[in-house]
Each structure stands twice: as structure tokens, then as C-alpha cells.
A and B are shown apart, each in its own frame.
Chain A
Amino acid sequence: MNEIIESVKNLSIGFNSQKGKQISILRNVSTNIKKGETVGIVGESGSGKSTLALAMMGYIKQGLFPLKGECLFKSEDLLKMSSRQLEKIRGRKIAMIPQNAGQALTPNLKIGYQIDEALRLHTDLNKTERDKKISELLNKVRLPSPETMAFRYPHELSGGQQQRVAVAMALAGKPDLLLLDEPTTGLDVTTQAHVLELLRFIAKDTGTSMIYVSHDLGAIAQVSDRIVVMYAGEIVLEGPARKILKEPIHPYTYGLLKSIPKLSLAGLPASMPGSQPQPGSINEGCSFYDRCNLATDNCKKNSPDLEHIKELDTNVRCFNYKELINQNNNLQTSITKKSNNSEANEVLKLKDVSISYAKQKFFDQLLNKISDQNPTVKDINIDIKKGETIALVGESGSGKSTILKSIAGLLKTKDGQIKFENDRILSSDLKMRNPNDLRAIQLIFQNPDESLNPNHTVEQILSQPLKLYFNLSGEELKKNIIDLLKKVRLGEFYMSRYPRQLSGGEKQRVAVARAFAAKPDIILCDEVTSALDVSVQAAVLNLLQQLKEDLGTTYVFVSHDLAVVRAISDRVAVLYQGRLCEIGPSQNVYKFPSHPYTEVLLGAVLEPDPDIKPKLVAEDIVEEKPPEKGCSFQGRCPRKIGDICNSEVPPWQIGENGNAIRCHINIEELASLQQ
């Protein structure tokens, strides 16, 4: 157990800047991987965690080069090996499971071939033995019908299945060390929980050591024995998983854990100020100095070393870590948010809304025939009150973004009505809406990199809605822009910046400011925090909440992340395959009894706590189309009672707490089943 497989010693990796300066993105990293151990490397984007992981396979990305240090695999330095020698180690001794299997599998080669390639390279098996081995491997990663699976192309598989293929491929060479680079990021919550469960099983079954790289402390908590926390290219904290997660003694880890929204907490998570420094911008002192609330003058001038603390079995890079010992109780706190006035008027009503992506055929259009009897989104009835935050929750394909686009007028509805203020029907065609309605409903997109024009300065971006809706110009325009920036806590000097000069969180703030520039009544938020780092996410959530409390805006908040939804929303609507399953006040939706789908989703949420294991109650099958009749969740429901689920659409039942559930099982019975 204590045999060291791979050891990284004083590794620094960097690149040459345009000014010819050497800039390091990994600084003096040392760590050991023991046999049979799973080490989680956690950090936000830009912390150098992926660079470290790839270096542990002797792979340095183009443009980077090692500055000093070594990566010893069984006492041989991978960084000094020839590519011939590395080919013998990669896939055979150390194998990689990539982040996005959909993009990491070669599109023109069949699954079977890609696994076979690994077998041919790394084993001495003959053709028939290899074929047998391929179905064995596909079986081991629990893919359905392994015989036919081998003949399929990567794109014919769902995201979870692709990830399983990548696992099978990595296992083909029977490696001693598995490197996992964000293997579950981008998968649906239930799929993610299933893949993690598989990985845990494989670690136990094969005794392979694993390095699990992720930004998600929830996933790390489920698999790791030991955790390494990275910040700005350095290891800031390293120790046993339980210690790190329950008693973090580095202020960064402490803040990070506090900024993760948790299912058990109703309020908003505490946010950390600022963002991670750019590589090369730290000249002296601690890299976390700017964001640390324990920082002293000493921290500004001197950078702390990684210090080993014997009694905690932990390495920490902080002068003042002692102040954090026994502070763990504070981790489970959150900022309570003002709940809205439930007496308020309804501002937006969705009535029997159905949306179809099926293109009407030319002849059907002529005959005015409705071609799609089974639309993507069907029978949505939601009333939204002024000043409330309603969240639409569901996995990919649940129709949550589709509904949002329809409200915005970007997608025509097939049936039903969208009513705005005093029951006035909004046209589903954007061109038919009057300018005031267009102003009243604003949209914030998921990815600010794509929603902000890269050739416009922040000033230009924010001036557009102001000019368009309010005809402002000159000094008045400028004053309004400065006001908006102040509202999203950005200084005046940001006006002349271009989006590329901003960090992810700052960009999203500009996007938020742009939406508020129109003084809208309703803001549609489409996964607005999913592209952001956890610590930045908390800050954006807090900002949205603050703006809402100040200005009385209504939010329709779409997210796949149940914990984020729990933190921000007043009411939650759970969707599956474009049909509503459950709707109610958020504190009740997160309590039982709930719709079986909500139960599945809640069970699959990964908490940053090694003691809370996800409950896997349903298979992670991906359904391509909603069922033609009956309950939308019939295909995966763990509580299915029989034919009635397949044939009849379940009725709405209202629970004691006011949450409505659409299920054939009586609500009291559901409550006792879910106890």
C-alpha cells in the first residue's frame, strides 16, 4: 500500500511570454502517488491542475515546457524520455480518461477499433482473444449489448456511454495508474453519479491507483482518499480527503467549500472576493493575498512554504492556518435571502404551452396540418409572480432552455399562450412584439464569451440597450453606463475594456449589467453560472439576488444544478422530457414527498462531503423522445406501478405544503415510500 508509483518533484512548467519573459503556470509542485490510492486534484480553471496531470504522463501541451523538476514513474523521469519510450508507458502503465469523451474519441473509427487499438499496442493477445476481451471490457463498464456496441461510431452513443467507452479503452492496457481529467464534467447529474460509481468500483476491483482531476469538490469527495488543492499553479493544501473537506485549514479551501451551494441549506452561499491571479502576475508574497481575509503584511511580502503538520497529516501553504483550526462549524452557513411577497400580482403566465422542433413539411404547411403530435415541450402551465425567482430544473433534453427561448420570443410556440401583465397575450413571434415588451423581457446567456461581442468595449456593449430603448446619448448615456457598472460592482475604468481583458466572472457581470440596462420586468437566466468557477458562481448568485431585492425584478432561472437552484429560487418547476413533473415552493420541492424524478435527481446530487453518498435509484438511460402517451417519466421511473403509467397522463396532486406533483401514486403513499 505504501509503495510509491509516481512522484512529482519540484516541478515547474511555463511558457515564454511575448516579451520574452518566462512565466510559470506550475510552480514547484511536489507530490507522491501511492499504490492503490486515489488522489483528487482540485482547483479552479487556470490553477494548473490539468497541466500537472498531463505532465504525470510525460505530456506537455504545445507552447509549454518544463522549467525544472521531474516526474518520476517507478524512478524514471517521464519528462526526459523519448517518444518511443513514452509510447511503451502511455496506455500500458499510465492510462488517461479524458474530460470530454465525445471529443476524445476519434469520430471516424468504430468503438471496437479504438479499444482494439489499445489492446494491440499493449497486449500480446491474438485476434479472437482480443475480440473476446473487447466485449469483456464493454461489459465491465456496464454498456448495454457489448457485441453490437463495438460496431458503433462514437457519435451514436450518449455522453455517459462515450465516457464508459473511454474507461474501457483506458482499462485495456491494464495500467498501474489511471489519470482522470474531469471525467464527469459535462454529464447530466444522474449520469455523473453512475459514472463515478463505476469508477469507484473499478478502483476497488483492479487495485489501480487513480489521479482524479476536477474543479468539482462534490465529485472529488466521492472518490478520493487524498486531496491536493491547487491555486494559481501551486499546491496550497494536501491531505486525507476527510480532513480537507471537513476541516480545511487553508483560507482558499475554506472559502471554496463555503461558496458551494448545498442541498441542505436554503440560503445563498458566501462568496469569495476577486478571482484567481493570471499566471505571471504574482511577483512576491502569497498568491492568495488579494482574496484572503486572514492576510497580514507578512503575506504580502513573503510567500509561505508548504508546511507539513504532523498531527493533521496535512501540508498547508499558509502563515495563518492556525486561525482556521476548529472553525469547521462555520462551513455550514449561508446568507439568508429575503423571500418575495407572495401576494404580488402575476406578471407572466404560461398557459398550455407546447413547443415543437419538428420542421413542418412544406405540404403539411399548405394543408395547415399539424405534423407533430408529440412535441418537445407540452402542456406547460406556470404562473410567475412579480418579484419571484422561479427555477426550471431538469437534465439536458428536459426542455428547460426551450421554454426560456419561447418566452424570449426566439422560438415560436406550437400551442398555448404566453401572457404578460394583465393577461395580455404576447405574440410568440419576436417580430410581432412591440418595443416595450421586448424591453421588458431580457435574457442572460450561459456563456459570456459567446454572448458578448469581442470587438466591442464594455461601454459599447452597455450603451446599445440604453440607446435602443431610452434614446440616451452623450453625458447621460455615460452616467447610466457608470451606474450600471456600479450596480454589478465593476469600476468605471472597465468601460474601455474589451471582453477578452475580463475574467469569466467579470464578463458575466457585464452580461448581467446589459440585461439590467433595459430596466426589464423579467430576466431570463439560462444556466448563467454553469460556465463559472465555484467561487465566482457564488458571487454572481449573490449579485443577482441583491439586484432583485433592490429593483424588484422577476427571474426565470434555468439550471441543471439542484443546489444552485435551491440557493437562488423561491419556486421550482421540475421538468422531464418537456413535461412538468413537479412545481412548488423550493423548500418543499426539496422535501419529500416528491415526484419520483425529483427523487432521482436529488439522490444523484454530489455533495462535497465524503459521508453523503449519492443514491442511485434509476438507470441512466438516455431517452431521445418523450413517450407518446402516459407519464413522461415512465421509461426510467423507479416507482412505476404498472400499465396506467404507460397509458394515462398522471393527474396533478397538491401536497400539504403547496407543491404540486404529477404522479399516479397517491401523494400520501409516495410520502411513506420515500421515508
Chain B
Amino acid sequence: MLLLILKRIGLGLITLFIVSLITFVGVEVLPGDACTTYLEREAYGTALDACIKRLGLDIPAYERYLDWASNVVRGDFGYSLSGEMPINEVLGPRVKNSLVLASVSILIGIPLAIVLGIITALWRDKLPDIMISTITIFSMTIPEFISATLLILIVAIWLGWLPGIVIIPSDATFYELLSNIILPVVAISMIMTAHMARMVRSSVIQVMASDYVQMAILKGVPYWKMVFRHVLPNALLPAINVVALTIAWLLGGVVVTEVVFNYPGLGRLVIESISNRDLPVVQALAIILASIYVGINLIADLMTLMLNPRLKSLQIRK
């Protein structure tokens, strides 16, 4: 088991290494370099030379990669071009903000999705299912920039209950954030919950049709006991991976929602740094987002392994 975890971590690290290589090489093969892209029309003479010197673009690429990689391993992403401040200081508050937005959405969205999924599955084709399913399909199909805009229009402008956009500095405190993120959370949850509820629904329906559920009924197991003991543990296992992907998607910054609400999270940073042509930040973001995906998928895989007796004993026997 331990060996397996180590193996998976190793594979994750290899993935990250490859991602770092790809982003680095990608930046290298682009016409021009970080300085010419950044300085644009001013890319000549002393300004260009100073920039090249500052970024160390005069030394060979592989040395620069090694240098950069070893710094990243130590947690130092270097300097951003635009703000000319350490990337860590740029990233820090953004990561925190994204984390807050993601955690609140997760805490609300996932339990809601599971409950809705179960209800729709157990009352399949009856009124609760038809109602909830219609709503979920609606919120799934409406693009988030439309639903977000509609939310702003109704709640912020017509009703005036909540601020329409987030006007706080990126280093706001947790409490300041909380009152500001209600609308973004609602917008995100609408899509996320809908997706997951559909998934849970089909998984529960599939398990309900299995031989062992029929057997439990014929054994005389009362309905709700059967649902909790025989159905849910087996139905929710495949949901773990979907939940993991959703969490990774959330942490990676929900670009559109963040832009619509002007929320200072990672997603907006991605857009900003790309439009500012701040390549060092883009590189750093690529590595961070990849780490989030790798890490969360690793956790999901391990959880599936722990919770599924079939896989667990298979691994132990080997």
C-alpha cells in the first residue's frame, strides 16, 4: 500500500516535471522572448538590455531552466515583470482568495449535489425528480457568464441586496471576503451542483438496479436501511473522481466567474498576466495549476482505493 502511494506520488512528480518542461520550452520557442514581448514597442536599446540582464536571458536556455526549476522546488518563482515584485507576493493573496471561494462553493455545492442526486434517483420519474432534474439541466446548460450576469441584474441591481461586483483589494481579510462572495458562490454552485447531481443520480440508479440491491430487498431489509447500507457506499464511490475534478477546477480559478464578478482569484490572475504578457507569472501559474490537478487526483485515487474493498485487497495481495 505504502509502495503504491509512493509510486503514485512519483508519477505525479514526473507529470509536473513534464509540465514545467513544456511551459518552459513553449515560452522559449515563441518568437521573441519575455523581454521583447513585455516591452513591445520599447524593446530596443538600454531598456531591452537591462531587461535581458535582469531576467538572465543572456545565459543558455538549459541553464536557465535548471536555475528556474531549482528555485521553484525551493518555492521561489522569481520576479514578475509588470509589478516588478516577487511572484510569491503576487500569488499568495490570489491563492488564498481562490481557496476561500472554492472551499465555500465546495462546502455548499457538494453535499447539495449528493442529496439532490439521491433524491432524484430514488424518486426517479416522479415529481421530485422531474422538478429537480429540469432545474439542474437548466442551470447546467446556461453558460456561467449569462447566469452570473443575470444574478447581478436581479440580486444586485433590481433588489439591491448584495454588491454586484467585488470591490476589494486582493489582500482583503477572510471576513471582508465572505460577504462579497455570496453571488460568485451561487453562480459557481449552480453549474457544479447540477453536473454532480446528474452524475450521482445515474450512479444511484445503476446500483439500485443491481442484483445485490434486489437481494437486500428480498432479504427483508427495510428500505432506508437498504439505501444507506447497500446502495450509497457503492453508488458514491465513482463520484469521488468527479468531485476531485470539480475541486481542482474550482481551485484552478473559475476564470469566467472571477472576471464577471471582478473577483481577485487565480483565474483572473491568469487572464491578467496573459494580457500583460508577463511570462514568468504565466509559467508559475502553469506549474501551480498542474500541481493542484495532480495533487487532488492523487488524493481521489487513494480515497477510492481505501474505500473500495475490492481494490484494497487486490493491492495488498500483490
Contacts and interface: CB of A to CB of B under 8 A. Distances in A.
Interface of A: 54, 57, 59, 62, 83, 86-92, 95-96, 98-100, 103-109, 117-118, 121-122, 153, 155-156, 166, 169, 173
Contact of A107 (B212, B214, B216, B229): B212
A288 B211 CA distance: 32
B223 A83 contact: yes
A634 B234 CA distance: 40
A95 B229 CA distance: 20
Contact of A153 (B221, B222, B233, B313): B313
A90 B212 contact: no
Given A62-B209, A90-B217, 14 more contacts: A59-B218, A90-B218, A95-B218, A99-B211, A103-B211, A106-B212, A106-B230, A108-B307, A109-B229, A117-B219, A118-B220, A121-B220, A121-B221, A121-B222
Interface in B217-255: 217-223, 229-230, 233-234
A68 B215 CA distance: 25
Contact of B309 (A83, A104, A155): A155
B221 A103 contact: no
A109 B230 contact: yes
A103 B213 CA distance: 10
A169 B221 CA distance: 12
A62 B307 CA distance: 30
Interface string B184-223: 0000000000000000000000000111101111111111
Contact of B219 (A83, A103, A121, A153): A121
B308 interface: yes
Contacts of B126: none
B41 interface: no
Contacts of B214: 59, 98, 104
B310 interface: yes
Contact of B310 (A54, A96, A155): A155
Given A103-B211, A106-B212, A92 B220 contact: yes
A293 B216 CA distance: 45
B212 A96 contact: no
Given A104-B211, A153-B310, A90 B234 contact: no
A86 B233 CA distance: 25
15 contacts: A57-B218, A83-B223, A87-B222, A89-B220, A96-B219, A100-B211, A104-B211, A104-B212, A106-B230, A107-B212, A108-B307, A108-B309, A118-B219, A121-B219, A121-B221
Contact of A59 (B217, B223, B313): B217
Contacts of B216: 106
B211 A91 contact: no
Given A96-B219, A106-B234, A153 B309 contact: yes
A107 B219 contact: no
B269 to A, nearest CB: 41
A371 to B, nearest CB: 14
Contacts of A107: 212, 234, 309-310
Contacts of B308: 108
Contacts of A87: 220-222
A103 B308 CA distance: 15
A117 B226 CA distance: 11
Nearest to B219: A91
B235 to A, nearest CB: 10
B221 A117 contact: yes
A616 to B, nearest CB: 28
Give the interface centre of B210, B211, B223, B233 by most chain A CB atoms within 10 Å: B211
B36 to A, nearest CB: 44
A59 B230 CA distance: 18
Give the interface centre of A57, A92, A100, A106 by most chain B CB atoms within 10 Å: A106
Contacts of A121: 219-222
Contacts of B209: 62
A91 B310 contact: no
A103 B211 CA distance: 6
Contacts of B212: 103-107
A87 B220 CA distance: 4
Contact of A104 (B215, B229, B233): B215
A122 B223 contact: no
Nearest to B317: A156
B7 to A, nearest CB: 13
A632 to B, nearest CB: 23
B55 to A, nearest CB: 40
Contacts of B307: 108
Nearest to A99: B211
Nearest to B212: A106
A100 B212 CA distance: 10
Contacts of A96: 215, 218-219
A661 to B, nearest CB: 35
Contacts of B233: 108
A522 B215 CA distance: 44
Nearest to A153: B309
Nearest to A121: B220
Contact of A98 (B211, B221, B230): B211
Nearest to A122: B220
A89 B223 CA distance: 14
B232 to A, nearest CB: 10
A95 B219 CA distance: 7
Contacts of A153: 309-310, 313
Nearest to B216: A106
A156 B316 CA distance: 12
Contacts of A90: 217-220
Contacts of A98: 211, 214-215, 218
